[in-house]
Amino acid sequence: MRLGAHVSVAGGKYKAIERGAKIKCEALQIFIRNVRAWTSKPLEEQDIKDFLEFKTKHKEIWPILSHNSYLINLAGTDEEKLNKSFNAMLDELTKAEQLKLDYINMHPGNKNEDEKEEDALLRIASQLNKLFDETNNSKVKIVLETTAGQGNDVGYSFEHMAKIIENIENKNRIGITFDTCHSFAAGYDFTTQDKYDQLWNNFEEIVGLEYLYAFHLNDAANELGSRVDRHEHIGQGEIGLKVFSFFVNDEKFSEHPGILETPDGIEKYEENLRKLKNLRK
């Protein structure tokens, strides 16, 4: 697994690559637009140029993915907010293409209190199909992040992901990010080698391993099945250090990015990365 972290772009997008290289990241995740606002100004030509230069300079860091805005909810029923979400996601795709990124990590969304989960999942697929139609010359994939199932969030089960993918027309543009904290909180137990192996047997059967493109490697502050999305430092949570060795040493995922989103950002990433790298056999 290619180990990395979600790194700040403060001072310019290229700065994230610089920061990632400093802490010996092998892969990277960044924000490419204001994640707490609906609108975002276009990327400046110099920012694009600098980023692509640093990307070429640090070829040891790949893949690079972005994380979408927290406001975006393609499962929503409010027409105005759904349109805003669509346009913001279209902007994400445009910027990702300009920066030659591989993937955009996306939270699937959250449903209305009184609606069926399936309706929300079909709405997500419909919006994604429209986005892929509007960007049909792009190769950027959207990878849907597994969720903890907190509140009305969808995407906490493999069946949810399978339902969305089943309804996507261009399946070359869609995939999954497996978040260890979220899926543990959603009730997926992978804390022994046997349970870990069974997890991927189930994933293969329900979704298909060909759709798994990335990992978020986070320990969990709360117990198995808590439905609480709260990350913890590697080895300091309920998942435990030894369990991460299953992930980092799995030959199936040797070229998949494993991205840290642990608390305290860059200050602790180096320590968390070292823990993960020390698990390699």
Q: What is the gyration radius of the CA atoms in the chain, in angstroms? A: 18
DSSP-assigned letter for residue 57: H
Share of the chain above pLDDT 90, in %: 97
- Beta bridge partners of residue 174, listed in sequence order: 142
Range of the domain at 151: 2-278
Structure tokens at 214: 């990335």
Residue 95 has pLDDT above 90, yes or no: yes
Please give the C-alpha separations between residue 204 and each of 21, 124, 193, in angstroms, as whole numbers.
34, 22, 17
Total tally of structural domains belonging to the chain? 1
Instruction: Give the model's confidence band at 159: pLDDT under 50 very low, under 70 low, under 90 confident, else very high.
Output: very high
Beta strands 231-232 and 219-220 are: antiparallel
Mean pLDDT of all residues in 140-166: 98
Q: For the segment 190-227, what is each residue's pLDDT rounded down to a tens digit?
A: 999 999 999 999 999 999 999 999 999 999 999 999 99
Share of the chain above pLDDT 70, in %: 100
Average pLDDT, the chain: 98
Q: Please give the pLDDT value at position 265.
A: 87
Q: What is the CATH number of the domain that holds 261?
A: 3.20.20.150
Q: Please give the pLDDT value at position 267.
A: 86
Residue 88 has pLDDT above 90, yes or no: yes
For the annotated catalytic residues, the residue numbers are 36, 67, 70, 107, 145, 179, 182, 216, 229, 231, 261
Mean pLDDT of all residues in 163-189: 99
Q: For the segment 243-262, what is each residue's pLDDT rounded down to a tens digit?
A: 999 999 999 999 999 999 99
Structure tokens at 142: 């959207």
Contact 193, 245 (CB under 8 A): no
